[in-house]
Amino acid sequence: MKEKQNKKKKIEGKCRNTSLRSNVISTVSSAAHTIGTTACFFMTKRLYNFLPGGQPDPTINPVFLPELTTQCPQNGDINVRLPMDRISERVFDKQILQNIKDGFAVLQTDAGLYEDVTTRRVVDSYLGMLNPFFGPTFESDFVKAIVKMGKIGVKTGSKGEIRRVCSAFN
């Protein structure tokens, strides 16, 4: 829990001078997981040793737990991939937020968004029936957040570097 709070404070600290609000931060941190997969390696502690005595993370929906333990058995292949958004893993949408609310978050960091009062309100606001008609939408806030975060700590001039190959330093 303390580790999650430290990560959140670190992100908020970096974003303080960019006028990013906590709802934008939570949008980015959860929305990025609406597409893609993760490895069982990142699930082992959450599934088999989260609480003393080898208990799983209690925030995992009891219906979802057997699905996760089947895909990532204890002492199994830690390289097995599973979708981070179990309903629409190949579609950019707000289903990941519904998953988080319902206890179907694959990653602990995503589940943590519903444990924190501030970010829980944001998740709920994007899922409200009137959200498409009133207030900012998940999609528009996500775009704004990505643009703003892309401006954090940009190095220019001789301090910066344009990579010829994105995965390697020049």
Out of 19-23, 55-59, 163-167, the most confident range is 55-59
Domain count, the chain: 1
CATH number at residue 122: 1.10.420.10
Q: Are 70 and 64 in contact (CB under 8 A)?
A: no
Say if 133 falls within a structural domain. yes
Helix (H) and strand (E) counts for the chain? 8, 2
Percent residues over pLDDT 90 in the chain: 38
Say if 70 falls within a structural domain. no
Say if 69 falls within a structural domain. no
Whether residue 102 is annotated as binding a ligand: the answer is no
Whether residue 85 is annotated as binding a ligand: the answer is yes
Instruction: Please give the model's pTM, rounded to 2 decimal places.
Output: 0.77
Percent residues over pLDDT 70 in the chain: 81
Whether residue 110 is annotated as binding a ligand: the answer is no
Mean pLDDT of the region 127-132: 77
Whether residue 34 is annotated as binding a ligand: the answer is yes
Mean pLDDT of the region 25-40: 80
Residue 28 lies in domain = 2-36+84-159
Q: What is the pLDDT of residues 132-163, one digit of tens each?
A: 677 678 888 888 888 887 888 888 888 888 88
